[in-house]
Amino acid sequence: MHTAVDVITAKRNGTPLTEDQITWIVNAYTAGDVSDEQFAALAMAIYFQGLTDAELFALTTAMLNSGTRLDFSTLGKPTADKHSTGGVGDKITLPLTPLVASYGVAVPQLSGRGLGHTGGTLDKLESIPGFQVHLSEEHIRNQLLDPGGVICAATAELAPADKKIYALRDVTATVDSMPLIASSIMSKKLAEGTDTLVLDVKTGTGAFMQDEADARRLAEKMVWLGKAHGVATTAVLTRMDTPLGYTVGNAIEIEESLDVLNGQGPDDVVELTLTLAKHMLAGAGIEADPAENLANGKAMDAWRAMVTAQHGDPDAPLPTATHEHYVTAPTSGVLSRMDARAIGEAAWRLGAGRQYQGQPVQATAGIRLHAKPGDSVTEGERLFTLYTETPEQFEAATRLVETAVEVAETYTAPEVIVDVIR
């Protein structure tokens, strides 16, 4: 018979936990038989002591098995999924899902909401008039048959242990623990039941794993966990020092995603979308250059069908902000830094993000960038346009974006794609 105190004490003292101990405490906590205080103590012990590979596998498996696991094997088509560890201006899911779906792959993108400085895919989609993110499993399955892509909220039955553990980590300063991040992401993603999983693991100032070595270790562990559970898993290590694209917010990121689907859009967003699409298609056994379906309109057709299937109006104008404010370049030269975290926090203050779960966001709030690192700027030239429905937030947001930029004589932007881990 296990007790929570025995499990906590063992982990605190650095003694590896058995699979049986881990399975028991995850199930007991999910059922309410272990208190928040006790699991918080265990999470902190894991934060400091780490987990062995055997412990990490057992924790991920226990969280995965705490709820239902979707099964799309009867769809008659390959399935592929993508997960990003979170960034600023990271709108990649929006063009990527219909692009991969346009090649006959089922893409069940169960996504989340923004918290802190990183944006949420569901918040962005809800800026489209009528768009519904809460769907039944039957609706998800039908939409995966046609048009093939769906972006929606996870059902409550998927990995309920993770939902409860994550909420606890969020208020106990144990979010940025590599084994807890890996088990959280992979339990959710494995529960989605896809054949192929591609992970976009961010590194840099705007990422949760800012250090590249830490991000690489996280990517390697998640790839190992995926393969150990029978899912073809690849991780792409990508740079997140500067926001992706030229928009940070909700409706304005939809606008930029539509540019990509129209065969245009910012180079970094297009490059990352195509890179992830290639890996997803390869995992699904499809040899194709995804740039073709961006150019010929098939990806846009899939997007419009997907929005319509989720009760949205693909032709409706996106909402625009009532108030805007300009921030200009402090001096002339080459833009050498644009800190993603500061930009993300400024967008959050303007109303694009939330401080706590359940807080409403503004569809129209955000920041438009008029230059990126490597661009020449002139003193007094517009660098940012800030949008909000709460103009009293302009002052705080302006201070943040002013600290985010530096101008130098020269600058060479680093590559967006750092490495691919298989």
In DSSP terms, 153 is beta-bridged to 111
Instruction: For residue 138, give both structure tokens.
Output: 């039957």
Instruction: For residue 186, give both structure tokens.
Output: 């992979």
Single out the residue of 137, 161, 135 nearest to residue 58, CA to CA: 161
The answer to whether 90 and 271 have CB atoms below 8 angstroms apart is: no
Phi and psi, residue 249, nearest 5°: 160, -150
- Number of helices (H) and strands (E) in the chain: give both, helices first: 16, 13
- Output the pLDDT for position 170: 79
In DSSP terms, 335 is beta-bridged to 407
How many angstroms separate the CA atoms of 58 and 237, rounded?
25
How many angstroms separate the CA atoms of 169 and 171, rounded?
5
Q: Which residues of 90-106 are buried (b: 16+ CB within 10 A; e: fewer)?
A: bbbbbbbbbbbbbbebb
DSSP summary character for residue 68: B
- pLDDT one-digit tens code per residue, 264-294: 999 999 999 999 999 999 999 999 999 999 9
- Output the pLDDT for position 120: 87
Instruction: For residue 278, give both structure tokens.
Output: 């290639």
CA dihedral (372, 319, 353, 156) in degrees, to 10, reads -120
Question: What are the residue numbers of the active site?
Answer: 83, 162, 169, 184, 188
- Output the pLDDT for position 183: 97
How many angstroms separate the CA atoms of 240 and 205, rounded?
6
- Output the pLDDT for position 223: 98
For the chain, the C-alpha Rg in angstroms (whole number) is: 21
Domains of the chain: 4-50 (1.20.970.10), 73-159+169-183+191-309 (3.40.1030.10), 323-408 (3.90.1170.30)
- Output the pLDDT for position 175: 84
How many angstroms separate the CA atoms of 244 and 343, rounded?
11
Residue ranges of the alpha helices (H) in 65-173?
Answer: 93-101, 121-125, 137-145, 160-170
222 Cβ neighbours under 8 A, 6+ residues apart = 182, 185, 186, 199, 201, 233, 235
- Output the pLDDT for position 115: 65
Give the angle subtended at the CA of 265 by the CAs of 259 and 271, to the nearest 5°.
130
- Distances from the Cα of 207 to the Cαs of 4, 112, 204, in angstroms? 33, 16, 5
Give the sign of the dihedral formed by CA 411, CA 412, CA 416, CA 417.
negative
Single out the residue of 315, 368, 340, 358 nearest to residue 87, CA to CA: 340
Residue ranges of the alpha helices (H) in 118-266?
Answer: 121-125, 137-145, 160-170, 178-191, 212-228, 251-261
- Output the pLDDT for position 413: 84
- Output the pLDDT for position 116: 65
Low-confidence residues of the chain, pLDDT below 50? none
Single out the residue of 92, 84, 99 nearest to residue 148, CA to CA: 99
- Distances from the Cα of 422 to the Cαs of 78, 220, 228, 413, in angstroms? 19, 8, 13, 26
Burial class of residue 193, CB neighbours in 10 A (0-12, 13-18, 19+): middle
How many angstroms separate the CA atoms of 303 and 121, rounded?
15
CA atoms within 13 A on the CB side of 118: 19
Give the sign of the dihedral formed by CA 17, CA 19, CA 22, CA 25.
negative
Residue with tokens 């018979």: 1
How many angstroms separate the CA atoms of 137 and 134, rounded?
10
**Letter for the amino acid at 164?**
K
How many angstroms separate the CA atoms of 174 and 46, rounded?
9
* SS3 call for 267: helix
